[in-house]
Chain A
Amino acid sequence: MKQVIMGNHALSYGAMLSRVQVIAAYPITPQTQVVELLSEICADKRLDAEFVKVESEHSALAASMGASAVGARVFTATSSQGLALMHEIIHWTVGARLPIVLGNINRAMGPPWSIWTEQNDSLSERDTGCIQFYAQNNQEVLDTVIQAFKVSERVFLPSMVILDAFVLSHTSELVDVPEQKLVDEYLPPFAPKYKLDVNEPHTFGGLTGPDGYYELRYKINEAMEEAKEVIKETGKEFGEKFGREYGLVEAYRMDDAETVLVTSATIASTARVAIDELRKEGKKVGLLRVRVFRPFPSEEIRELLSGRKKVALIDRNISFGHGGIFAQEIKSALYNYKDTPPIWGYIIGLGGRDVTVNDIKGIINDTIESDKPEKDIIWKGVRL
């Protein structure tokens, strides 16, 4: 059924349709509406779930772990400072192989206090082993929560469904809310083989020396590799059931593109308009949207970028002292391979500064007009 809903509520509805059983979350701007709606939904029994009103984000993810470990389907949500506070427990959740789905609203880290969008918070969790989906519109937010549960519960790794603060979280868009019946057919109940069970007692997470830990780490990476296939599979299945297919990346007007813009999240949404306008001018440009950041879709990136003339990459984040994080990841995916185009790494929009169609057109035109990238970081829009 089509409804006009804000990004935060798309997360809540995604969790509701996925029949989550436990929600443990702590409010933080701009995530508050996620938990407020979930509170309401639990209170009026539209969703039969336990809502734990924890006293911090650290406790939110810890409580989520406890619930997931006994075999309940768990959802939580947070943003920037809260995600940073959860950091230790994100590592723990991955090591414990618990399939929790976490909605994260990309918000800039303080100080100074900022509530506007930037990707550093989620990208700081890059190495934990948590799967990361970056959504470009509210429809995708809702759809991805449902898919994330299916993926996580197959590979036993937690997932993050990520959306931009305010640009998506507080923006209302038309969303086709799937029918519960269809979602139930797509996403079966959570039934883990090993859990905290008094009838089959086990200890989880005991002291492990170097003679065992290494293999356990290998298995986590193996699960991440498996996740690539599982994400594609479940995305295809989603398409068959609900009419909207999803993959690791999204290619727009890429067939004969010579200059490719690579980006993620809402900037990709805006970029589509820029691509169309530049195409009208006769420029051979295309857009590659990275939807899944972990596991990193290296194969797709290599296939789609090899043979192109130039690549312009837009990051709404920065790893201080090196450059945009997506840019680094893409460069490293292409490094040992032939036929790889030069990459211009642009940074724009940090702290929520607006990124317009003209900004993006400017970036693509700059790329077309220059011979090679002069610097590792090309700052756009900074008042120097």
Chain B
Amino acid sequence: MSDKKIIYKTAKDIPLNAMSIESMLYNKTGAWRNIRPVLDYENCINCMICWKFCPDMAIYIKDDKPVINYDYCKGCGICAEECPKKCISLIEEAR
């Protein structure tokens, strides 16, 4: 799986039917954001509820801590809403 976008040039290159050969990782949905979640690691208890409820798998676990992947985070705010310690703040996305 790579984050390459596939573009077919001619009919010869296209497969027999509309068959997928690559993931959607090329599509950096982080560009959709208007608000950005920011995690306060001081108060985070590593419960992973934010990881659990992210519809875009944009929070991953590293060294037992949740990390937000801003390449794909769409800024829906579910993580901030569900965090039991309220340690995710939503701030205006800088443009």
Contacts and interface: CB of A to CB of B under 8 A. Distances in A.
* Chains A and B in contact, CB within 8 Å: yes
A204 interface: yes
A208 B11 CA distance: 14
B2 to A, nearest CB: 16
B18 interface: yes
A203 B14 contact: no
Interface string B3-18: 0000010110011111
Contacts of B10: 215
A215 B18 contact: no
A294 to B, nearest CB: 19
B93 to A, nearest CB: 28
B17 A215 contact: no
Contacts of A208: 18
B11 A194 contact: no
A142 to B, nearest CB: 30
B8 A205 contact: no
Contacts of A203: 19-20
Contacts of B15: 194
A204 B20 CA distance: 6
Interface string B37-75: 000000000000000000000000000000000000000
B14 A215 contact: yes
B94 interface: no
A212 interface: yes
Contacts of B11: 215, 218-219, 222
A97 interface: yes
B17 A95 contact: yes
A216 interface: yes
Contacts of B21: 202
A156 B20 contact: no
A216 B12 CA distance: 10
B14 A97 contact: no
A228 to B, nearest CB: 19
Interface residues of A, number: 17
B69 to A, nearest CB: 23
Contacts of A205: 17-18
A216 B17 contact: yes
A279 B23 CA distance: 68
Interface string A193-206: 01000000011111
A96 interface: yes
Interface in A204-258: 204-206, 208, 212, 215-216, 218-219, 222
A216 B18 contact: yes
A216 B18 CA distance: 7
Contact of B16 (A194, A206, A212, A218): A194
A204 B8 contact: no
Interface in B14-34: 14-21
Contacts of A218: 11
B8 A97 contact: no
Interface string A120-158: 000000000000000000000000000000000000100
Contacts of A156: 16-17
Given A205-B18, A215-B8, 14 more contacts: A97-B16, A194-B17, A203-B20, A208-B18, A212-B8, A212-B14, A212-B18, A215-B14, A216-B14, A216-B17, A218-B11, A219-B11, A219-B14, A219-B16
13 contacts: A95-B18, A96-B17, A156-B17, A194-B16, A204-B19, A204-B20, A205-B18, A206-B20, A212-B14, A215-B10, A215-B11, A218-B11, A219-B16
**Chain A to chain B: the 10 pairs with minimum beta-carbon distance, closest first:** A203-B20, A215-B11, A97-B17, A215-B14, A202-B19, A218-B11, A208-B18, A202-B20, A205-B18, A97-B16
Interface of A: 95-97, 156, 194, 202-206, 208, 212, 215-216, 218-219, 222
